[in-house]
């Protein structure tokens, strides 16, 4: 009997965990820092104060992103562990019912009942918990929650995104600061959106337009608030 030749493929869903955290972090770092810089500049702050505010926003934002992502993803991981523990207990208590449950899932996906039972028996003999985790609970190694990885990716990507408008701020003092920071930040956002869309397999123009629109809106509102409070002060 000839052995089956394994066909290896790489899918974009394998990237979804780190890609989501990285894109969210970089986008948030760029938008929040650029908006912060533009808002403080519109309020009439000195160039040194604008830079200090931007750096403080970078540090605080990176830590906030890391903590928030860690807590969020860790909660997901805790839920997955609890579900898997419950599944192991059910398999030990009544494996036959669990086999029928798995077979019913395969019937619902289009297999004949007899074939579904054979598949359920063989998969449970190989890895019962893995089969139920994947097909009953929807938990797989590709989509498993990784809190530390998500937290580090979010913090690092936030810092990278925030450094871009800060670098422009550092070399562009005076009245040209606001248009330069806003313009370059929108360009960076469009590039980021396009790259993220390309990696994820979506339309590049649509991805660039989405992040560019919301970034422009955030900077416009923050600049208005800064100008209003600066005039009051």
Q: Is the dihedral of CA 157, 162, 163, 165 positive or negative?
A: positive
Give 1's pLDDT tier (boundaries 50, 70, 90). very low
Report pLDDT for 52: 92
Query: What one-character DSSP code corresponds to residue 3?
Result: P
Nearest to 195 by CA among 151, 150, 160, 147: 160
Report pLDDT for 59: 92
Report pLDDT for 4: 44
What are the C-alpha distances in Å from 15 to residues 22, 70, 75, 111, 171?
10, 18, 20, 30, 36
User: pLDDT digit string (tens) for 85-139?
Assistant: 887 887 778 878 888 887 888 888 888 888 888 888 887 888 777 777 777 776 6
The pLDDT of 191-203, averaged and rounded, is 73
CA 208 from centroid of its chain's CA atoms: 17
The pLDDT of 180-203, averaged and rounded, is 80
User: pLDDT digit string (tens) for 39-61?
Assistant: 998 888 888 999 999 999 999 99
Residue 8 tokens read as: 């290896």
Report pLDDT for 111: 82
The DSSP annotation for 74-90 comes to HHHHHHHHHHHHHHHHH
Quote the CA–CA distance of 106 and 19 in Å, as a whole number.
31
Q: Is the dihedral of CA 154, 157, 160, 162 positive or negative?
A: negative
**Domain segments of the chain as ranges:** 16-88+147-232
Q: Are 40 and 49 in contact (CB under 8 A)?
A: yes
Q: What angle do CA 204, 209, 215 make, to 5 degrees?
A: 130
User: pLDDT digit string (tens) for 169-186?
Assistant: 998 877 889 899 999 998
Helix (H/G/I), strand (E/B), else coil: 43: coil
What are the C-alpha distances in Å from 46 to residues 19, 52, 126, 142, 177?
37, 10, 67, 49, 11
Report pLDDT for 205: 82
Q: Are 29 and 160 in contact (CB under 8 A)?
A: yes
The DSSP annotation for 207-233 comes to HHHHHHHHHHHHHHHHHHHHHHHHHH-
Give 223's pLDDT tier (boundaries 50, 70, 90). confident
Instruction: Using only the alpha carbons of the chain, give its radius of gyration.
Output: 25
Residue 35 tokens read as: 């908006």
pTM for this entry? 0.66
CA 173 from centroid of its chain's CA atoms: 34
Quote the CA–CA distance of 167 and 29 in Å, as a whole number.
13
Give 201's pLDDT tier (boundaries 50, 70, 90). low
């Amino acid at each position: 009997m000839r052995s089956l030749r394994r066909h290896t493929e790489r899918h974009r869903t394998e990237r979804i965990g780190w890609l989501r955290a990285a894109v969210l972090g970089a986008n948030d770092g760029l938008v929040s820092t650029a908006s912060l810089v533009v808002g403080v500049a519109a309020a009439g702050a000195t160039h040194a104060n604008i830079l200090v505010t931007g750096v403080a926003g970078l540090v605080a934002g990176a830590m906030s992103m890391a903590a928030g992502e860690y807590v969020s993803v860790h909660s997901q991981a805790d839920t997955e562990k609890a579900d898997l523990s419950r599944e192991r207990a059910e398999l030990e208590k009544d494996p036959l019912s669990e086999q029928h449950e798995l077979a019913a899932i395969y019937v619902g996906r289009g297999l004949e009942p007899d074939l579904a039972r054979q598949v359920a028996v063989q998969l449970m003999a190989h890895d019962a918990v893995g089969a139920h985790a994947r097909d009953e609970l929807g938990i797989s190694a590709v989509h498993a929650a990784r809190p530390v990885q998500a937290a580090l990716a979010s913090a690092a990507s936030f810092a990278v995104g925030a450094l871009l408008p800060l670098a422009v701020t550092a070399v562009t003092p005076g009245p040209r600061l606001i248009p330069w920071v806003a313009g370059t930040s929108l360009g960076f956002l469009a590039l980021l959106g396009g790259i993220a869309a390309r990696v994820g397999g979506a339309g590049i123009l649509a991805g660039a337009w989405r992040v560019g629109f919301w970034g422009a809106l955030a900077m416009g509102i923050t600049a208005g608030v800064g100008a209003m409070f600066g005039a009051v002060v």
